[in-house]
Structures are given as C-alpha cells and as structure tokens.
Amino acid sequence: MICSSMVISVPKEKVWNILLDKIFHPDKYIPGIEEFEIKERDTNEYIRYLYTETDDVIELIIVDEEQFMITSTLVKHSFLKGKLIQTIKEQDNKVLLVFEQDRQITIPEFEGIDMQLALDAALEQIHTILTE
C-alpha cells in the first residue's frame, strides 16, 4: 500500500464536498472521460462506469460519511486492480487529507507507471482546486 497525505488549510466540509464532487462529476477531474454513469447500489454505495476512448472502467465506491472516507475498488480496468482510500482526518486543529492506494498493475507493458507519483498528483490536484 502506498500513501500520500497533505495538510490543507480549509474546512473539512469543503474538502469533503470536493471528494464527493469527484465521484459524481469525474469528467471535471479525470482527463479523457467521454461518458460516465453512476448507479446507486445501496445507501452510500455506488457503481460508477467511466468510458474513455481506450478503456471502460467500473468501480465500486463506498462513502463513509461518519469517517469522512471514500473507498473506490476497481471492478474492471484494462491494466489495474485494487483500491483507493481517500480519508479526511483532523490533526492538531488542521485538516489532513490522506490518499492510500493498494492498486497493482496487471499488464507488464504498464509496469513502468510510477503509482506513487500518480497518487501524489491526484492529491496535488485536490489541493490546487481547494486553494484557487
């Protein structure tokens, strides 16, 4: 499992709203999304379908509002498997955003992808949005 975290100087609720927006409007955050569909499976549990020119992705997303945690597990992806956990914690009166990723590359030609760099970039994207 790889991890990336960042202290953010905005209210926890604002960070939470951005994380929720990423679920329901992935086209605003993920380049190349041509179409998407979200189906509620149960309370706070969703199946999200993402369609790009090169891949169709299916994710199971669980939203834990009490823990301020979102878990996204890949159900279908062309070269990845595993999950991403996004958690908001409060530490010393500050907001700490933590991304933990337990995803593995399943096809040898993609093994050169730096998963830590990708995770850091996703966290930085949220930071940039929050500080604009």
Write down the domain spans for the chain: 2-131
Model pTM score: 0.91
The yes-or-no verdict on residue 130 having pLDDT over 90 is: no
What pLDDT does 113 receive? 86
In this predicted model, what pLDDT tens digit does every residue of 83-120 receive, in sequence order?
999 999 987 778 999 999 998 888 888 888 888 998 99
C-alpha torsion sign, points 51, 52, 58, 60: negative
Superfamily of domain 2-131: START domain (3.30.530.20)
The yes-or-no verdict on residue 14 having pLDDT over 90 is: yes
In this predicted model, what pLDDT tens digit does every residue of 38-55 receive, in sequence order?
998 888 999 999 999 989
